[in-house]
Structure 1
Amino acid sequence: MRLSIACARIAVQLAVALSAASCSNSVWAQTPGATHVGTILAAREPVNPVKEFVGRVEAVERVSVRARITGYLKEVLFKEGDAVKEGAPLYRIEPEPFQAALQQAQGALLKAQGQEANAAGQLDRAETLLKTQSGSVAVRDQRTAEYQTTKGDVLVAQANVQAAAINLSYTEIKSPISGVIGRTSVTKGNVVGPDSGVLTTIVSQDPMYVVTPVSQREFLQLKSEQRRAGGDVAASLTVALRFSDGSAYAFPGKINFVDISIDKATDSVLVRASFPNPHGQLIDGQLVKFSITGDKPEEKILVPQSALIADQQGVYVFVVEDGKAAVKRLKLGGESGANAIVDSGLDAGAQVIVEGMEVLRPGAPVIASPAKMLGRS
């Protein structure tokens, strides 16, 4: 009896094992060489679309310092790379020749003023003699002409004094703005003048501009968002920066200018934003990533950026269709956190492969599981 029961148990176990093997063979017969993948369902979510462009930092004020007179450079009065205040002396050109020219002009003015005084006295005497009939009209007219000539000489002499004083003031070149000064292109001992070119450059630091060309299509989208917001584009959009290493700039910006015409060569319009720069992180000429975010959420399909694959044709993801991996080419509309915003190419409800796609090929059989379940197994 005991032997009979044991045999029965063995028979049952064999039957169960054969049944399991049969089922397993049936699954693998349907998906030979299938790859286990983790998927998520693509769904529409409210997001604030972010449009990203490459922008260039520009100083609000930028001055190329030049010499306005020709002379011997006596001193360089600044340290390259330092901050300078408006009115700070930068260069000193030898002043002695210009002081001498000023004194010469002042002497000529005194001489002209003396001649004017003498001519005025001669004219008064001629007028007096004419009244007493002891003089003639011709003499009076001659004295009038002489007086007018000396008055003209005085005006010319005064102008010469003013010009000489201006030239003397140009011997000390001062900073016209506050900012950071660059390197000097000349050193003391050289003769400089208007033909010497730029001596140094000064750029303001706070605030700074960032300018970027925006395509006409994207610009029209921005204008559409402006109309929906019921205000101007500057008030309805948030502007942010990221540096080339991916780090975010701490201070948001504000759009303060949109160019009045489209660049025919690139079919784009120039947009400019102003950013505070209290710590000097933004440098004139620097390339940055310029992102514009609307304030009205839109329903968009999001996919994890880790699921994106790029090739020469663009960006795509793998999805599960009929138990196989299929390629979906995407048109992206920016980023939202760790996700990419899909403008077109993917429908809601699609099974997007986010794990295991490294070894996939289009048409390869797959066994799909929710990504979080796959991660726990």
Structure 2
Amino acid sequence: MRNVSCHLLAFTFLSFATSASAQMPGAGGPPPVGVVTVTETAINETTEFNGRIEATDKVNIVARVSAFLEEQLFTEGADVKKGDLLFRLERPPYEADLEAKAASVAEAQATLENANIAFDRADQMHKSGSGSQSTLDNALATQRTSAAQLRSAQAALRSSQINLDYTEIRSPIDGRIGRAAVTVGNVVSASSGTLVTVVSQDPMYVTFPVPTRKLIEFQQKRTSGGSEGLRLRLRLPDGRIYDQTGILDFLDVSVASDTDSITVRGAIANPVIHNGQRELFNDEFVRVIVEAVTPQKVLAIPRAAVLTDQQGDYVYTVGADNVVQIRRIKLGQSTAETATVLDGLAVGDKVVAEGVQRVRPNAPVTPQLLTTQLATKG
């Protein structure tokens, strides 16, 4: 009786194990895999380049005359306006020279007035027959010489006035001023070099080299999308995406022979964000993101579904009979999460996205539809 009970217990356990094995996916049957259905998604295609910020206007301030530097009238690193007085040089020597030139003009005017009187007298005597032609000719020559001397004296006066004006050095543009290279008390002149630099702040330029092959693509997008076919975004040195967008506004005239690339320039706003500060600085290194304005429809699948071998990229597709096939694909622009497919798949195809390690070509699987939403740029 005891043996019968043991046999019955063993038979019951075996039956239960067999039934459980039949219900467990992958235990003796096709392995379970997660699949996604290929869909069409609209994305804004982007390309990144290394770029550098440049001020639209940059002025190196230099002295135009030689004199002692008497005053510095700005705060280093502050914003300045066009016409603001930056430096004042020693003025007395130039004021004295201006007075001397003014005296020379007055003297030349008096000489010309006397020459005019002498010419009029000689002309009247010649007309009355009491004066000679040579006397009239000499009076005319003296008059013309005096007029020329007056013009020369007036030109010297203007030159002296210009030199005096140069003792006040003003900002030629609106912008931000840098550090002064010369301190008060030094003698400065045109040969002293840059006293200080002023750079404009808003907008700013960003320049970056683009391979000629990629440039052709950009030009096609601009043609199809008009002047707004492309826009610029910036990735700042800390990794953040700058919140302003820019436009392409300049293409260099020559291709760099060593890199087969051409310099492209864009313009982008640089507004004040807080406490008078701005985010973009002259000569700052950034990543330039060139983005197509018009979204492009592409086929998108999870990046995890894409495999690579010596022949290139491929995916596993599942047919109506749940049999796996290898499908060679051509990828477009992709992210860490999403791959865009240019060729090899069609809308509605089912692609293995999970459990690819359990898949064998031409073998059956147990597909389970995934509903994970793809992350795309748009």
Query: How far did 1:254 drift?
Result: 2.1
User: 2:275 is matched with which residue?
Assistant: none
1:274 matched to 2:270? The reply is no
State the alpha-carbon separation in 2 of the partners of residues 121 and 215 from structure 1: 78
Query: How far did 1:252 drift?
Result: 1.5
Question: Secondary structure, in 3 states, of the residue corresponding to 1:293?
Answer: strand
1:112 matched to 2:105? The reply is no
Deviations 1:166-207 (A, max 9, x none): 000000000001110000110011111111111111111111
User: 1:132 is matched with which residue?
Assistant: 128
User: 2:139 is matched with which residue?
Assistant: 143
User: 1:259 is matched with which residue?
Assistant: 252
Query: How far did 1:258 drift?
Result: 3.0
Query: How far did 1:164 drift?
Result: 0.2
Residue 89 (structure 2) aligned to one of 82, 93, 96: 93
Count of residues in Structure 1 that have an aligned counterpart in Structure 2 = 351
Question: Secondary structure, in 3 states, of the residue corresponding to 1:333?
Answer: coil
The alpha-carbon distance between structure 1 residues 205 and 370, as it changes in their structure 2 partners (threshold 3 A), is farther
User: 1:153 is matched with which residue?
Assistant: 149
The alpha-carbon distance between structure 1 residues 237 and 163, as it changes in their structure 2 partners (threshold 3 A), is same
Deviations 1:17-64 (A, max 9, x none): 48978999x969x99xxxx99886776533221112222111111111
- Normalised by the length of structure 1, the TM-score is 0.77
What 5-or-longer segments of structure 1 have no aligned partner? 358-366
User: 2:296 is matched with which residue?
Assistant: 298
8 A contact 1:317–1:352 mirrored in 2:
no
8 A contact 1:41–1:352 mirrored in 2:
no
Cα RMSD (Å) of the superposition?
A: 4.1
Query: How far did 1:332 drift?
Result: 5.8
State the alpha-carbon separation in 2 of the partners of residues 351 and 253 from structure 1: 39
User: 2:14 is matched with which residue?
Assistant: 14
State the alpha-carbon separation in 1 of the partners of residues 47 and 366 from structure 2: 33
1:248 matched to 2:231? The reply is no
What code does the residue aligned with 2:8 have?
A: A
Query: How far did 1:290 drift?
Result: 1.4
The alpha-carbon distance between structure 1 residues 343 and 54, as it changes in their structure 2 partners (threshold 3 A), is farther
What code does the residue aligned with 2:62 have?
A: R
8 A contact 2:231–2:290 mirrored in 1:
yes
Deviations 1:291-337 (A, max 9, x none): 1222333343546678999xxx9xx98967999xx9x99866365xx
1:238 matched to 2:234? The reply is no
8 A contact 2:304–2:353 mirrored in 1:
no
Deviates more, 1:274-283 or 1:148-157: 274-283
Residue 77 (structure 1) aligned to one of 73, 77, 96: 73
Question: Secondary structure, in 3 states, of the residue corresponding to 2:74?
Answer: coil
